[in-house]
Amino acid sequence: MSDQDDHDYRMSQRKVKLVGTRNELENLLKTKKIDSMSQRTSIDPIEAAMRNNPGLTREKAEEMATKFGF
């Protein structure tokens, strides 16, 4: 048996441990969806770029945006 076959077999034998009820999971997913939607609308593109690139300053981001026509 190859390593991949061994891995596939072990993964197929795993037991999934459920935590919480279906309603709790659905509520968590709804909350997550609402949070991510509100976060997307409140952040301007330059702020998002700064968050994704920690070394990026607002001045540099604005300069790049002007160069690329944003």
Structural domain boundaries in the chain: 43-70
Among 27-31, 33-37, 47-51, whose mean pLDDT is lowest? 33-37
Q: What is the pTM of this model?
A: 0.39
Q: What is the 3-state secondary structure (H, E, C) of 28-55?
A: HHHHHHHHHHHHHHHCCHHHHHHHHCCC
63, HSE (Cβ side, Cα atoms, 13 Å): 5
C-beta of residue 46 within 8 angstroms of C-beta of residue 65: yes
Q: What is the pLDDT of residues 55-66, one digit of tens each?
A: 999 999 999 989
C-beta of residue 65 within 8 angstroms of C-beta of residue 45: yes
